[in-house]
Chains A and B, each alone.
Chain A
Amino acid sequence: MVPGSAFAADTHPLHQLVARERTGFESRWSGPIVTRSGVLDPVPPPHPPFTVDGSSALDCVHAKHDIRLDPMTGETTATFDLEVRAGNNKPLSAIGFTFDEGLSVTAVSADGRSATFSDQVYSPSRVARIDLSPALAAGQSTTIHLAYSGTLSCGMLSTGGMVCRKGSSFSYFANQSVFPFLFDPDAPYANEYDGLTRDIVLRAPMGTDVVVTGEMVSDSIGTNGDHISTWTIDKPFSRSLGMYVLAGKLGLDMVPGRAVPTTLVYPLPEAQVDTHMTQWSPPVLDFVESSVGGPLPFQRSLSLVHLPAEVGDPGTATYGMTLLSDAYARAGDLMHEETWAHENSHLFWGIVVPEHDSLESRLMTEGMATLTELDYTFARHFSDEDRDVYLARRFVPIGLDLRTVGYELPPVQLGPGASQPADFRTQLYTLWAYYKTAATLDHLRVTLGEDVFTKGLRAYIDTCSYVSCSPDDFRTALEKVSGKDLGPFFSRWVTSSSRPQVTFSFEPGNTSAEIELTKEDDLPMTLEIWVRLESGALVKRLVELGPRVTSVHVDTPGKVRSVSASPRHDLLVDSRSSIEGDLDFDGETDGFDILKCARLVGKKYETQGAVGLWVVDEKFDPRCDLDGDLDIDDDDMDKLAQSFGSLRGAR
Chain B
Amino acid sequence: MKLSLFSATALLVLGCGGSSGSESKPGPVSFTPEPQPSDDGAAIYLVGRTEGDRVIVDVMAHGVSDLHGTAFRVKWDPDALALVDAQASSEWTKESVLLSKESLPGQLVVAWSEKGDGAGHDATQAIVLGTLVFDAKSRKGSAIAFRTDRSTALDHQGKTLAVAWRSGTVPAR
Asked whether A650 and B97 contact (CB < 8 A) given A534-B149, A591-B111, A599-B156, the answer is no
A637 near B116 with CB under 8 A, answer: no
A649 touches B99 (CB 8 A): no
A598 within 8 A of B: yes
A637 to B99, CA, bound (A): 11
Q: How distant is A579 from chain B, measured CB to nearest CB, in Å?
A: 12
Tell me, yes or no, whether A42 is within 8 Å of chain B by CB.
Answer: no
Interface size on A, residues (CB 8 A): 20
CB distance from B160 to the nearest CB of A (A): 10
A598-639 CB mask vs B (1 if < 8 Å, else 0) is: 111110000000000000000000000000000000100100
The answer to whether residues A598 and B113 also contact, given A592-B71, A637-B97, A641-B97 and a CB cut-off of 8 A, is: yes
Does B149 lie within 8 Å of A591, measured CB to CB? no
Q: For residues 130 through 155 of chain B, which have their beta carbon under 8 Å from a beta carbon of chain A? A: 149-150, 152, 154
Confirm or deny: A59 has a beta carbon within 8 angstroms of a beta carbon on chain B. Answer: no
**Contact of A83 with B by CB under 8 A:** no
Whether the pair B116, A601 counts as a contact (CB closer than 8 A) is yes
- Residues facing A in B147-170 (CB within 8 A) are 149-150, 152, 154, 156-158
Q: Is B49 an interface residue (CB 8 A)?
A: no
Closest to A619 in B: B117
* A590 touching B71, Cβ below 8 Å: yes
Contacts of B69 in A (CB 8 A): 591, 594-595, 598-599
* Interface: B47 (CB within 8 A): no
The segment from B15-23, B56-64, B101-109 found at the interface with A is: B101-109
The SS class assigned to the A binding surface is loop
When the two chains form their complex, are residues A641 and B99 in contact, meaning their CB atoms are under 8 A apart? yes
Residues of chain B at interface, number, CB under 8 A: 28
B173 within 8 A of partner (CB):
no
Q: How far is the CA of A647 from the CA of B149 in the complex (A)?
A: 14
- Tell me if B's interface is mostly helix, strand, loop or mixed: strand
B30 within 8 A of A: no
Q: Which residues of B contact A599 (CB under 8 A)?
A: 68-69, 113-117, 154, 156-158
A602 in contact with B109 (CB, 8 Å): no
- The answer to whether A594 touches B103, judged by C-beta atoms less than 8 angstroms apart, is no
| A646 and B154 within 8 A (CB) | no
Known pairs A534-B149, A644-B109; A591 contacts B72 (CB<8 A)? yes
Contact with A645, one of B70, B103, B117 (Cβ below 8 angstroms) = B103
A592 to B116, CA, bound (A): 16
Q: Is the CB of B111 within 8 A of A644?
A: yes
Complexed CA–CA distance, A646 and B150 (Å): 14
- The residue on A at minimum CB distance from B155 is A599
Binary contact track B63-82/A, C-beta < 8 Å → 1, others 0: 00000111111000000000
Given contacts A592-B71, A599-B117, A602-B117, contact A645 B158 (CB under 8 A): no
15 inter-chain pairs at a CB distance below 8 angstroms, sorted by A residue, are A534-B149, A590-B111, A591-B70, A591-B99, A592-B152, A595-B113, A598-B113, A598-B115, A599-B116, A599-B154, A599-B158, A600-B117, A634-B115, A637-B97, A645-B109
Which A residues fall within an 8 A CB radius of B?
534, 590-592, 594-595, 598-602, 634, 637, 641, 644-647, 649-650
